[in-house]
Structure 1
């Protein structure tokens, strides 16, 4: 299970947007029991953030970092980032596809993104194990729960909702 806080680096004052300060944040997160981080597509260069995340030892095996903004780019950028991740031994990244799919417009967009992800995995078998995630509520779970590999969810779901989303 991943335990984290949303960390939009754009919320950090510009003078503190440094790799050294970010490492202090990640180390503090680790010391307070967190096991992963959210990575926003703005604030600090993505590669620098990933290097600091790797070096901070925040990450727990099997729990990916959450790449917010993956849905704002596309398969070409996914490939470039995932290739760089492999090359630089970065932590695993989960693609955050469609924030909070709780209405029909967002559900439809998530389905569009999953079609892209399915094709991406076919075109790039070296990345076939990349996982998807989003913050999701009961409406999104009913519509898309079986498609997301990881749910970012509150504790209010009952077992029957989880089972029904997995076809059980």
Structure 2
């Protein structure tokens, strides 16, 4: 990302909305926004590092409540929430930090929630696991701040491999939605 060009464009936008970019509170805004965009759109240049795996097996691995923040590609306003990932390993498991990095890789882009969910499931499934489920629950500021101005949330899901089977899908969904306080151990 060309930081200098972003600063120039933000300065022009400030003028277009009717503000004075030389005003004390706005003087450094173009630089702050350029730095912020570099961070929040870093997913285009990131690697989820899924190639780092450990020899271990388990019937299912579930990572709940992976917090994410993304930017709606339609209005460039944030949407945010939690992603839950379940997968059935095939002799190798991923560290939880790799799953968090995978979420960041796709959430730190101009995005829609449905594609975010699909991208995460597709990349994880491409690593040879038996099955993957990704659930995303999010709030969208593009809907809260403008348009219908409603507090509704959106849930999206993606199923790959063995979890595309109706019976497997129902069982894994029940496990994902369980809270740790509800588990028998």
Greater share of helix residues, 1 or 2?
1
Q: Larger % of strand: which?
A: 2
Is TM-score (shorter-chain normalized) higher than 0.5? no
Q: What TM-score, normalized by structure 2, do the two folds share?
A: 0.27
Larger Rg: 2
Q: Which has the higher contact order (CA 8 A, sep 6+)?
A: 2
> TM-score normalized by structure 1?
0.29
